[in-house]
Structure 1
Amino acid sequence: MISKENKILDLVSDYPQTEEIFKPYDEIIGKCVMCNHLFETVGEFSEMYGLDMEELLEKLNKAVKHSKTQA
Structure 2
Amino acid sequence: MNDQKKTQITADMTLLDIVSEYPATEAVLKSYDVQAGECICCQMLFESIRQVAEHYHLDLNDLLRKLNSAAAT
How high is the sequence identity, in percent, across the aligned residues?
A: 42
Q: TM-score, normalised by structure 1?
A: 0.88
More helix by share: 1
| 1:59 partner letter | K
Partner of 1:3: 10
- Unpaired runs of 5+ residues, structure 1, are none
Q: Report runs of 4+ in structure 1 exceeding 4 Å deviation.
A: none
Report the secondary structure of 1:35's partner residue: helix
Distance 2:34 2:56 in 1: 12
Q: TM-score, normalised by structure 2?
A: 0.86
- Across the aligned residues of Structure 1 and Structure 2, the Cα RMSD in angstroms comes to 0.7
Matched, 1:40 2:44: no
Partner of 1:63: 70
Q: Count matched residues.
A: 66
Larger Rg: 2
